[in-house]
Amino acid sequence: MKLIDTNWDKKIISKEIDKLLSPYDDGELFVEEVFTENILLDDNKIKSSTFDNDKGFGIRTVKNDEIKFYHNSEVNEDTLKKGIKLIKTNRSINTEKLNKKIIKTNKNLYDNTNPLNQRSLKQKIDLLEKINSYARKLDSSVKQVSVGINGNFQNVEIVKLGGNTFYDSRPLVRMNVSISIEKNGRVETGSYGFGGRHMYDKLFSKKNWKCAIDSAFQQAKVKLKAKETPAGEQTVVLGPGWPGILLHEAIGHGLEGDFNRKQTSAFYDLVGKRVASDQVTIVDDGTIPERRGSLTIDDEGTPSQNTTLIENGILKGFMQDRLNARLMNKDSTGNGRRQSYSHIPMPRMTNTYMLSGKYDHDELIKSTKKGIYATQFSGGQVDITSGKFVFSASEAYEITNGKIGKPLKGATLIGNGPEILKEVTMVGNNLKLDNGIGTCGKEGQMVPVGVGQPSLKIKKLTVGGTK
């Protein structure tokens, strides 16, 4: 099988990689080719249309926790041999091999077709113009419309010790819409995005793009009616779906293997102990077909899996790549991810979400005498070591006497991830995953991810407001 035109003899390369890796604990040759396009319509015209093709390889060796890494954008035998020679310099030998078990999978979680080739450039531009026209006809208050589509197709080949070679072709598409409306001199903007590891067909579906426009327009309308948010400690109800981004940032990173091996996570010594309400179960699942964060194999060749991180409030384990799993005497969970061939892999989330509980959504609202209902989030900041976070709610409402009231503006949630898990008093039975828009940053590397949760009620959380 060959996905990438490398112009080198596979048998010779496998032999060279075997010679290189045999004295080390782990490592691989990672070869990648990526096709990317972005088309943006803004202010009634196409503002940009770009297409890019990038190809390269990275060679990594691992001994204990020491990593040697070489990468090059020129894929040929000369550059490969140069990289091997550089890495071989002054290496030491360790014949003990830990975590050398190789598992392969034939289960593909997505189509291996390039989505960029499924529609012509004219068809894509026509779609953006059609969406723009629809949005502007919604109401005379619509002043600005921005619509963009992004397509990505990544081919990877991973060569490991013993001639084990892994292949994966990963499609990824996304649509983003933004609408600004004006009333009485006040301007507000709503946004919406959706996508996943599938073809452009779902973006071209009239039902889907109309939903995106209608949702963005409704969000902007709600903001026009919003009042100031009262500050202070309050009961907070989080809606299903995208609010899971708060759990992803405030808790998820703290459950990645490297932070726990280095004992810099608040969770590092708590496996087997209660860290959350008994209603809380959180998993990282990279095996959901066509989801944005899903992977047939991770960037080390390990099949992705569904990993239970917290079960009924008890911490069960962490997300692992091969390096940290080996040093912690654990198995990799298929979470070794890298942004590109020029980056080293590290433990990263895939689709991280909380499982459904036993309560109907309405019960969470009705049981709240006074509080805030947050349904959408924008930016935020997190300290991974402590779990402290600050998140801005882009759409929120007051709750008064068990009923959802007026929309709020300027709501900011402030807290500590490990602590709010213990303050969860009710978990809804309405689990929802996000629409396929998440991108996660860690140590300068960006990778696509998914988040999700059911509605959940947090007994007390500090709310920073404008009132």
Render pLDDT for 312-325 as a digit per residue (tens, 0 to 9): 999 999 999 999 99
- 201 and 185 within one domain: yes
> What pLDDT, on the 0 to 100 scale, is given for residue 90?
53
- 200 and 248 within one domain: no
> What pLDDT, on the 0 to 100 scale, is given for residue 186?
93
- 98 and 116 within one domain: yes
- 155 and 54 within one domain: yes
- 304 and 219 within one domain: no
- 303 and 193 within one domain: no
Look up tokens 């009705």; give the residue. Answer: 366
Render pLDDT for 13-62 as a digit per residue (tens, 0 to 9): 888 899 999 999 999 999 999 999 999 999 999 999 999 999 999 999 99
The average pLDDT across 123-132 equals 98
- 251 and 196 within one domain: no
Residue 93, pLDDT > 50, answer no
> What pLDDT, on the 0 to 100 scale, is given for residue 335?
98
pLDDT band (50, 70, 90) for residue 247:
confident
Residue 12, pLDDT > 90, answer no
User: Residue 317: which of 368, 268, 388, 247 has the closest Cα?
Assistant: 268
> What pLDDT, on the 0 to 100 scale, is given for residue 297?
97
430-449: buried (b, 16+ CB within 10 Å) or exposed (e) per residue? bbbbbbbbbebebeebebbb
What total of structural domains would you count in the chain? 2
DSSP letters spanning 401-444: TTEEEEEEES-EEEEEHHHHHHTEEEEBS--EE--S-EEEEETT
Q: How far apart are CA 403 and CA 365, in angstroms?
A: 6
> What pLDDT, on the 0 to 100 scale, is given for residue 203?
97
The average pLDDT across 333-350 equals 97
Asked if residue 4 belongs to a domain, the reply is no
- 399 and 277 within one domain: yes
- 180 and 238 within one domain: no
User: Residue 91: which of 156, 20, 42 has the closest Cα?
Assistant: 20
Asked if residue 127 belongs to a domain, the reply is yes
> What pLDDT, on the 0 to 100 scale, is given for residue 92?
43
Q: End of a domain among 196, 224, 252?
A: 224
- 301 and 234 within one domain: yes
> What pLDDT, on the 0 to 100 scale, is given for residue 417?
87
Render pLDDT for 370-386 as a digit per residue (tens, 0 to 9): 999 999 988 777 887 77
Residue 249, pLDDT > 90, answer no
- Residue 372's contacts (CB-CB under 8 Å, 6 or more residues apart) are 229, 234, 235, 236, 237, 393, 396, 397, 398, 399, 408, 411, 463
Asked if residue 3 belongs to a domain, the reply is no
- 348 and 315 within one domain: yes
Asked if residue 437 belongs to a domain, the reply is yes
> What pLDDT, on the 0 to 100 scale, is given for residue 102?
53
* φ and ψ of 10, to 5 deg: -60, -40
Q: Which domain holds residue 70?
A: 10-224
- 270 and 187 within one domain: no
**Percentage of residues in the chain having pLDDT higher than 90:** 81
CATH code: domain of residue 19: 3.30.2290.10
Render pLDDT for 61-84 as a digit per residue (tens, 0 to 9): 999 999 999 999 998 888 988 999
